[in-house]
Amino acid sequence: MKVISYNLRKHRAASELADLVEQHAADVLCLQEADTAGIPDEISGLRLAEATARNRLGLAVYYRENTYRAVEVRSLALKKSLHDRVLKPAEERMLGVRLRDIDHGRDLIVASFHAAPLTALNSLRRNQIQAALTSLSELGEGLPILMVGDYNYPVFKENLGQVVRQQGYELTLSDARTYTRYKFFRGHYDFATSVGFDIARVQTLPQGRSDHLPILVTAEAG
């Protein structure tokens, strides 16, 4: 399975999606900061499973419909930061989809995630990540889970990795930094947490119109 995750920076990079999917033969596309009222139902052979509806800029998940079938979808509003309460940029910060592998007859879960911005504390983001993973596990007991997205967690990732492992998951960073807009905040923002998946590689793709670089996760469900 090849999964692309991309924070579109207020939908500015939406025009790049078709080429990204085709160039990397993506099976799943997970978006953050998408104008969910204006996204298409299909992108280069990928079908829209669901998009959040209560966000000014939201999340979306696409899947290759000749390989998978969407069984169930779940979105989740997570604990809010002060930024969320004042500016209300995002109500739902996790969107998960239970997919059925048509050929192999087995299910797996893939999710798009967008943590609170850097104005919030790392402790709040850890709370959001833990709550999102718990909610995803309720989509199917014992199923492989892969959650990708913008974690807004550029420093102290060792602490985050320990918290994630205590919950039974693995944290996997990309091979190069994924955020470049501000000099003092550059680093790895976009990565993956998983259980039941063999993560072969998380690759940072070339930068487009967003301040985030897309990532390509190559993984196999165990």
Distance CA 95, CA 86 (A): 23
The yes-or-no verdict on residue 143 having pLDDT over 70 is yes
Per the model's pLDDT, the better-predicted residue between 104 and 56 turns out to be 104
The yes-or-no verdict on residue 40 having pLDDT over 70 is yes
* Percentage with pLDDT > 70 across the chain: 92
Q: What is the pLDDT of residue 187?
A: 82
Helices in 62-113 by DSSP H: which ranges?
82-87
- Of the candidate ranges 4-13, 117-126, 202-211, the one whose mean pLDDT is the lowest: 117-126
**What is this structure's pTM?**
0.92
Mean pLDDT of the 3-13 span: 97
pLDDT in tens, 168-200: 999 999 999 999 876 656 788 999 999 999 999
Q: What is the pLDDT of residue 159?
A: 87
Paired with 109 in beta bridges are 98, 145
Q: What is the pLDDT of residue 41?
A: 97
Give the type of residue at 59. L
Q: What is the pLDDT of residue 84?
A: 54
Distance CA 197, CA 108 (A): 9
Per the model's pLDDT, the better-predicted residue between 29 and 123 turns out to be 29
pLDDT in tens, 75-113: 988 655 444 544 455 568 999 999 999 999 999 999 999
Per the model's pLDDT, the better-predicted residue between 154 and 52 turns out to be 52
Q: Among residues 35, 34, 31, which one has the least CA distance to residue 46?
A: 31
Q: Where are the domains of the chain?
A: 2-221
Distance CA 160, CA 114 (A): 15
| Fold of the domain spanning 2-221 | Deoxyribonuclease I; Chain A (3.60.10)
- Mean confidence (pLDDT) of the chain: 90
Asked if 62 contacts 46 with a C-beta cutoff of 8 angstroms, the reply is yes
Q: Give the pairing of strands 145-150 and 58-64.
A: unpaired
Q: Among residues 143, 51, 48, 153, which one has the least CA distance to residue 101?
A: 143
